Structure 1
Amino acid sequence: MNNFLSSPTPLCLLFDCDGTLVDSEILLAEVLGEVLPEFGLPFSARQYMEEFRGIRFYTIVQMLEERFGVWVEDKFPALEAQMRARMEARMRAQLEPIAGIPEALAALNAYPKAVVSNGPERKIRCALESTRLTQHFGEQIFSAYTLNVWKPDPALYLQAASAMGYAPEQCIVIDDAAVGVEAGLAAGMHVIHINHFPEEETTPKGAIGIQHAHELPGAIARLDTKVTV
């Protein structure tokens, strides 16, 4: 992770990964729906999409343990290893970028960018490589597992901004999940919520809601104008 000593543009773009850059949420939901029941935790892909999107895997397991009275702490390393291995295989075989993201990133080429994710760094890199998006971010990858802080804690975005050389008010968070939107707002950053489920989810007050990645360049241009005026 490089540290920019000066700001070449007024704004820095901080992208979530899963569900924002890459269409991995349904793959993860299906993998969790397979693996968790094997370890005695009732779970379905639908549950992940409706209740757990963007939440740290360990936290999901803890919540399920408490809900069902099934304790898998001693088996957790094996459980996580199984989940990660299956997910990586699915990503390398099937993962696609979110529709419109490659074009949006190309249009936003002038802006410094980073990926800020609750996932492990290996998973982030696998996602970017599988969808050919690595060129847009290089080594600017910030993983919760590396920094030991997870969204909705704003510290993850704050640490990424600091490392990139930008103040919070100079950053735009682009995130699809509630935990990420909450983290960006709490960090005092501009937030664009890519709302894939507008009929079921409401964009929180203070965030800008869009429904498709092709809207992203326009939304950022409008924010850029406000910041530089």
Structure 2
Amino acid sequence: MNTPTSFCLLFDCDGTLVDSEVLLAEVMGDILPEFHLPFSAQQYMDEFRGVRFQTIVQTLESRFQTLGKDEFFTLEAGMRARMETRMRAELVAIPGMSDALELLSSHPKAVVSNGPEPKIRCALESTHLGHHFADRLFSAYTLNVWKPDPELYRKAASAMGYAPHECVVIDDAAVGVEAGLAAGMHVIHLNHFPNEEVTPAGAIGIHHANELPTAIARLTAQVAV
């Protein structure tokens, strides 16, 4: 069994490693109404952060009107293309995350995201964080399971060679925190909205990436006792 000092760190991508949520919200707020699905950027931030795109569209279809199959594929392709353009031009890392990753360099790390792998790679390339993870990228689209299903994190842990209790999930969104807890892992909730969101019982809440190394160190010390 791996020792507590070798906790495997499983990072969400959007909103955790990279500050992409507002960009994604704006892209969705622009393109969804073009397909007669009323939507706003604020609605994404309030209701759908971290949720699979298809699930968002299906929810809107239930409220307004159903898209044809070809329309959905056109919509998704358009959203992905616009998002990549915005990411390559504007995306930055979450404040403090680059330094935190350097301080956590001794831990094995992976990215576990509800987004497709090309989007993950684009995010890491655009923010120069990719060297921390190499090819240890686990996409829901590749593994065919999406948060809040805990199986996404479990599959990532297994591929990394770690048991669930040897892993720490770092995630900003409710769906990811829920998935990590259900997977039987330690969970650190990077809560960007402490006045609006409550960190669930069982998870550790932090408000800034610069708190992450200390939180990991405390977890390690607790497990070692």
Q: Identify whether the pair has TM-score above 0.5, normalized to the shorter chain.
A: yes
Amino acid at match of 2:138: F
Amino acid at match of 1:125: R
Corresponding residue of 2:122? 126
Matches of residues 55-70 of structure 1 in structure 2 within 5 Å?
Answer: 55-70=51-66
Amino acid at match of 1:192: I
- 4+ residue segments displaced more than 2 Å: 5-10, 69-74
Corresponding residue of 2:7? 11
Contact kept, 8 Å, 2:15 with 2:94, in 1: the verdict is yes
Give the alignment's TM-score, normalised by structure 1: 0.96
Q: CA deviation at 1:39?
A: 0.7
Q: Equivalent pairs: percent with the same residue?
A: 72
Corresponding residue of 1:111? 107
Contact kept, 8 Å, 1:7 with 1:165, in 2: the verdict is no
Matches of residues 89-108 of structure 1 in structure 2 within 5 Å?
Answer: 89-108=85-104
Amino acid at match of 2:105: N
Match status 1:135 vs 2:131? yes
Quote the RMSD (CA, aligned, Å): 1.4
Contact kept, 8 Å, 1:41 with 1:70, in 2: the verdict is no
Amino acid at match of 1:118: N
Amino acid at match of 1:78: T
Contact kept, 8 Å, 1:173 with 1:192, in 2: the verdict is yes
1:217 to 213, 220, 224: 213
Amino acid at match of 1:146: T
What secondary structure, in the 3-state scheme, does the structure 1 residue paired with 2:6 have? coil
CA–CA distance in 2 between the matches of 1:74 and 1:129? 31
What secondary structure, in the 3-state scheme, does the structure 2 residue paired with 1:22 have? coil
Out of 69-78 and 87-96, give the one that drifted further: 69-78
Contact kept, 8 Å, 2:11 with 2:170, in 1: the verdict is yes
**For the structure 1 residues 174 and 106, does the alpha-carbon distance in structure 2 shift closer, same or farther, using more than 3 Å as the test?**
same
Match status 1:160 vs 2:123? no
CA–CA distance in 2 between the matches of 1:72 and 1:155? 30
Q: Deviations over 1:175-223 (max 9, x none)?
A: 0000000000000000000000000000000000000000000000000
CA–CA distance in 2 between the matches of 1:116 and 1:95? 19
2:141 to 140, 145, 149: 145
Give the alignment's TM-score, normalised by structure 2: 0.97
Match status 1:204 vs 2:203? no
Contact kept, 8 Å, 1:193 with 1:203, in 2: the verdict is yes
What secondary structure, in the 3-state scheme, does the structure 2 residue paired with 1:174 have? strand
Match status 1:79 vs 2:75? yes
Corresponding residue of 2:47? 51
Structure 2 unaligned blocks of 5 or more = none
Q: CA deviation at 1:228?
A: 2.4
Amino acid at match of 1:115: V
